[in-house]
């Protein structure tokens, strides 16, 4: 079987959720046949370029081209009802370029690696025997949720527009695919119910297996993420509020926020909260997971499954999150972690801080759960079944 994989990010270095997904899907496709890779993404770094070149991959860089073109794209999206990220791809004539590549390469399967790459589907439907669209999330639902936690009217209006126009994109292009992939059963049910798609397969987010870190008795609480993304900023601000509540209860603790793009609101709130530190972007999460005792993610918006939670559980750290954070991860409250609404979040964190035995038990079960249910073999099996490969 000859497969052409159109990825929305370089699979290397796998230092954020999208790249991790691409790396895992690429590995699974390699179990099914010969794979040719085209990466359609922002300008990658030198290491990524070298990795792609060494593997004979094709790179189509899509630079943002500054604030004015982005503003013009937003205006066109508003005027035409087209999804703004997909418009960026349409401007680069993605469908026509891919059609030419498919006619030249003659693959048996074409995998478009995210919802917005589905913009190319109408141009490809008649030139490939099997067209697959992979979806990290139900993007229209995700952006609607993002709008609900965005703190400025202008940003809320923009994300609401993105949600509406992405819903139109999903309805226009996903029915053209022979297979639609999504990361969780909840998202698959939404696609089947809302769009009446005949073939939706769960291809879960996974991580390579590893031994857990040594048990930790630390009272440090960790949250990681790209904080310019509104749900992560919202979770960080919520966790700073948890710190203030724990201080009122005289519960000893510290909180560290690790990741790119800490916002002005986060810095202001953290400056006024002595137990909170902002580390910013780091080379590796490993040292930060090693030193913390609890990973806390009070997420109120999102879709799909969250790599940051999978990483923490695989590392053997006790987890506290919300039902939104736990979605798609098959987490059993009280067994693999504590799952609660934000109103109860401070109490759940305090419970773990005061009960080292519970923390150690949850951490061990979390590691076992991820290793058993979210390893690469599960994704490999899902991809083989979807493509009809024995």
Other beta carbons within 10 angstroms of residue 73's beta carbon come to 20
pLDDT at 66: 66
Contact 389, 33 (CB under 8 A): yes
CA–CA dist 181, 203 (Å, integer):
6
Dist. CA 67–CA 65, nearest whole Å: 7
The Cα 64–Cα 109 span in angstroms is 30
Mapped onto helix, strand or coil, the DSSP state of residue 198 is coil
With beta carbons less than 8 A apart as the criterion, state whether 170 and 195 touch: yes
Inter-residue contact 201 to 130 (CB < 8 Å): no
Name the 3-class secondary structure at 163.
helix
Block residue for tokens 């954070």: 325
Q: Tens digits of per-residue pLDDT, 147-177?
A: 988 888 988 998 999 999 999 999 999 999 9
Spatial contact of 62 and 40, defined as CB atoms under 8 Å apart: yes
At residue 139, the 3 state secondary structure works out as helix
Sites in the chain below the pLDDT cut of 70: 63-67
Judge contact between 258 and 285, C-beta under 8 A. yes
Residue pair 251/217 in contact (Cβ under 8 Å)? The answer is no
- Burial group, residue 172, by CB count within 10 angstroms (0-12, 13-18, 19+): middle
Angle at 214 between CA 211 and CA 215, to 5 degrees: 120
What does pTM read for this prediction? Answer: 0.91
* pLDDT at site 220: 98
Closest of 331, 283, 286 to residue 305, by C-alpha: 331
Identify the burial level of 325 via C-beta atoms within 10 angstroms of its C-beta, where 0-12 means exposed, 13-18 middle and 19 or more buried: buried
Local structure of residue 195 (DSSP, 8 states)? H
In the chain, the N- to C-terminal Cα span, in Å, equals 12
Q: What is the C-alpha to C-alpha distance for residues 85 and 8, in angstroms, rounded to an integer?
A: 12
- How much is the pLDDT for 284? 87
- The per-residue pLDDT for range 85-144, each reduced to its tens digit, is 887 787 778 999 999 999 999 999 999 999 999 999 999 999 999 999 999 999 999 999
What is the β-pairing status of strands 109-112 and 58-61? unpaired
The pLDDT value recorded for residue 67 is 67
Question: Cβ–Cβ contacts within 10 Å for residue 12, how many?
Answer: 19
Taking the CA atoms of 11, 184, 338 and 255 in sequence, report the sign of the dihedral they define.
Answer: positive
Kindly state the DSSP code that residue 44 receives in the 8-state scheme.
Answer: -
User: What does the alpha-carbon distance between residue 336 and residue 146 come to, in Å, rounded to a whole number?
Assistant: 27
φ, ψ for residue 389 (rounded to 5)? -100, 130
pLDDT at 65: 60
Cβ atoms of residues 297 and 275 within 8 Å: no
- pLDDT recorded at residue 39: 95
Which pLDDT does position 150 carry in this prediction? Answer: 87
Instruction: Report how far residue 47's alpha carbon sits from residue 276's, in angstroms, rounded to the nearest whole number.
Output: 33
Residue 79: per-residue pLDDT: 78
Q: Which residues contact 256 (CB under 8 A, 6 or more apart)?
A: 220, 221, 222, 223, 276, 277, 278, 279, 288, 292
């Amino acid at each position: 079987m000859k497969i052409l994989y159109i990825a929305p990010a370089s699979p290397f270095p796998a230092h954020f959720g999208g790249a991790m997904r691409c790396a895992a899907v690429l590995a699974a496709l390699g179990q099914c046949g010969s794979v040719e890779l085209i990466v359609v993404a922002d300008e990658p770094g030198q290491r990524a370029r070298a990795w792609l070149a060494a593997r004979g991959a094709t790179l189509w860089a899509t630079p943002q081209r500054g604030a004015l073109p982005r503003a013009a794209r937003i205006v066109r999206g508003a005027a035409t009802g087209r999804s703004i990220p997909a418009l960026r791809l349409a401007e680069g004539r993605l469908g026509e370029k891919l059609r030419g590549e498919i006619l030249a390469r003659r693959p048996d399967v074409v995998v478009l690696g995210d919802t917005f790459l589905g913009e190319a589907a109408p141009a490809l439907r008649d030139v490939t025997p099997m067209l697959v669209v992979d979806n990290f999330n139900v993007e229209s639902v995700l952006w609607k949720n993002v709008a609900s936690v965005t703190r400025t009217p202008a940003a809320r209006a923009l994300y609401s527009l993105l949600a509406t126009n992405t819903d139109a994109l999903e309805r226009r292009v996903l029915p053209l695919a022979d297979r639609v992939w999504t990361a969780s059963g909840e998202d698959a049910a939404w696609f089947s119910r809302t769009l009446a798609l005949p073939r939706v397969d769960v291809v879960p987010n996974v991580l390579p297996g590893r031994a857990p870190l040594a048990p930790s008795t630390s009272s440090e609480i960790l949250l990681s993420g790209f904080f310019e993304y509104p749900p992560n900023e919202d979770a960080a601000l919520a966790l700073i509020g948890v710190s203030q509540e724990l201080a009122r209860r005289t519960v000893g603790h510290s909180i560290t926020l690790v990741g790119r793009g800490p916002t002005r609101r986060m810095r202001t709130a953290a400056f006024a909260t002595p137990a909170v530190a902002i580390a910013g972007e780091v080379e590796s999460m490993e040292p930060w997971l090693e030193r913390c005792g609890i990973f806390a993610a009070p997420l109120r918006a999102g879709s799909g499954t969250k790599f940051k939670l999978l990483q923490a559980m695989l590392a053997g750290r006790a987890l506290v999150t919300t039902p939104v954070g736990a979605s798609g991860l098959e987490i059993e409250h009280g067994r693999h972690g504590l799952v609660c609404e934000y109103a109860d979040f401070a109490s759940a964190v305090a419970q773990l801080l005061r009960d080292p035995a519970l923390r150690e038990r949850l951490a061990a079960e979390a590691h076992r759960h991820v290793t058993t249910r979210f390893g690469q073999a599960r994704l490999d099996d899902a991809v083989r079944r979807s493509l009809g490969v024995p």
